[in-house]
Structure 1
Amino acid sequence: MGLNNIHHQTPDSPIGDIAYLSRSEHRIPALVALAERPRSRSELCEETGVSSSTIRRTLNEFGERLWIQKDGYQYVATRLGEAIATEMDDLLDWFETERKLRDVWHWLPDEVSKFPIETWSELTITIADPDVPYRPVTRFESLLKETTTVRYLRPEVALMDPCFDVLCQLVDDGVDVTLIDRPNCHTYFLSTYPKRCSELLQQDNFTVLEHDELPPHGTGLLDERVVISCYEQDSGTVQGVIDTDVAVVNKWAKSVYERYRSDARPIESRQIAE
């Protein structure tokens, strides 16, 4: 039966249409694909990974809703279908972002919840996974390699291998680096890597400050890109890294950094000598 001969049914409700699209994982991708360009039924089978009979039923159901029309041996989205495809694709992106934020929400500063919601989709969220626990560290390493300035509150992620090697190279290359952390963190790091730390502290472009009351998360400025690092409080493990160049987040991060920077102090000479 051709799509043009199908009796057009009125959906029970908008919720019914949403439920229809979400009940099978192939339906939204199929509609999005048809909104991009005309496709044959075999192309849709290949792209969605479902059978020819399933795609046939899906196309008939799309046709009943006037979301698609047939063009020779191919199918293409109507303007109605394009609108639905765009909105559903955006909605999926929102949910993907929300699910990632959900995993680190309790580690994030309260200010994140006050950012305009539309900025959330502009956040790159990298979460540690049991199979890939160093994924956030790897993401931070890639950002660190591209920056020409480093300003960071609670920079534990920057002091982990292999990020620390990149940080040392940046200092050697003349990049300005300022790290603000807690005294006990400095004490541990200076005692663990005495020679390397001594060499870094002799560089004019490397500044280490300390502050007694830093937040539980890290806030960094790599040029105009903001990085928020989420740490497990007991172990200090990096659970997630969020980065973005959205202006409102950058403005917030700069104000936070400057506030703590104004109260921070140089590390004691006794610590350096140890």
Structure 2
Amino acid sequence: MESALEEIEFLALSSNRVEVLRLLAAEPHSRGELATETGASQATLGRIIADFEERSWIRRTGGEYVATATGRIVADGFTDLLDILETERGLRDIVQYLPTDEMEFDLRHLADATITVPSQTRPNAPVQRLLDLLRDAEEVRTFSHAFNDQTIRVVQERVATGGQRFSGVFSPGAIDALTADDRLRNRLESLRAEPDASLRVRTDGVPLAVMIADDVVHLLLRDDSGVLQASLDTTAPAVREWAIETFEAYWESAEPLSGSL
């Protein structure tokens, strides 16, 4: 009897096997329909069908084939494995920068995330991605250890023209960095004065840099030295739920930004 690993290898070595099993797990197909869907020859399909019938993964019903209950289990499990590996490949180069200790959701929810990394021609690409999202957003909520000059400019201009509602929780260091510069301090004062803007400071700090721009959750990812390495954004509902819950928790544990800057 073949081991489970050998069965995995049996499927993995043939994309046609994977596709045929996936199709038959979804609904019955004739051999002609399988040939059209997969592009496999009749000889190849004959071998696949024989192998699958030997394993009781499929059965014939009239002139069609369909997956058995165990065949559907195998199809679902193998599809899940493929999805996991595709997600891992996408995250492989940035996983060391992900704040996974704080991310209370399954990383599989990042399967369709947009990852932006700096390049020689676009060294500021991750921040530019964030700015593009901010320019279109009607509601922005953020919790972050940083609030740079480009971001605060876009937010202040959008809020001042009535195009955006903004709520932010920041670490003391983020506010200190802004108030140390006269121009940025004035912009922060202007933003704080807007009725559609609310800013708070969390004494214990904020270990993440997350913005929720309407339905999009955006993370800026830095290395241990604070150098920006990438950004990641997604519209996955589970990630957005986590981001909103985390924002609300930080908001409740922070104090309004008040007094003279």
From 144, 151, 159, the equivalent of 1:153 is 144
Count of matched residue pairs: 251
**CA RMSD, Structure 1 to Structure 2 (Å):** 4.4
Counterparts in 2 of 1:79-228, with a 5 A limit?
Answer: 79-112=69-102, 115=104, 119-123=106-110, 125-128=113-116, 134=125, 138=129, 141=132, 145=136, 148-154=139-145, 159=150, 168-169=157-158, 172-178=162-168, 180=170, 182-183=174-175, 186=178, 191=183, 200=191, 203-207=194-198, 217-222=208-213, 227-228=218-219
Distance (Å, rounded) in 2 between the aligned partners of 1:253 and 1:72:
57
Q: Select which of 50, 59, 68 maps to 2:58.
A: 68
1:216/1:252 CA distance change after superposition, 3 Å: closer
The 2-side partners of 1:190 and 1:254 are apart by 31
- Say which SS state the counterpart of residue 103 (structure 1) adopts: coil
* Counterpart for residue 22 of structure 1: 12
Q: What does the per-residue CA deviation read over 1:202-248, in whole Å, with 9 as the maximum and x for residues that have no partner?
A: 53323566789855641234568754332355653534335644355
TM superposition shift of 1:252: 3.7
Is it true that 1:236 corresponds to 2:228 in the alignment? Answer: yes
Percent same amino acid at aligned positions?
A: 23
Amino acid at match of 1:151: T
- Aligned-pair CA distance for 1:24: 2.1
Preserved CA contact (<8 Å) 2:117 2:229:
no
State TM-score, norm by structure 2: 0.68
Q: Where does the alignment leave 5 or more consecutive residues of structure 2 unmatched?
A: none
Distance of 2:48 and 2:189 partners within structure 1: 67
Query: Are 1:144 and 1:222, in contact at CA under 8 Å, matched by a contact in 2?
Result: no
Deviation at 1:53, TM superposition (A): 3.1
- Structure 1 residue ranges without an equivalent (≥5): 1-10, 270-274
- Paired with 1:83 and 1:37, the residues of 2 have a C-alpha distance of 14
* Distance across 2 between alignment mates of 1:157 and 1:244: 26
Of 73-82 and 211-220, more deviation after overlay is shown by 211-220
Q: CA deviation at 1:31?
A: 0.9
Tell whether the 8 Å contact from 2:142 to 2:247 is kept in structure 1 after alignment.
no
- Alignment check: 8 A CA contact 1:226 1:245 kept: no
Aligned to 1:13: 3
Q: 1:101 to 1:54 in 2, by over 3 A?
A: same
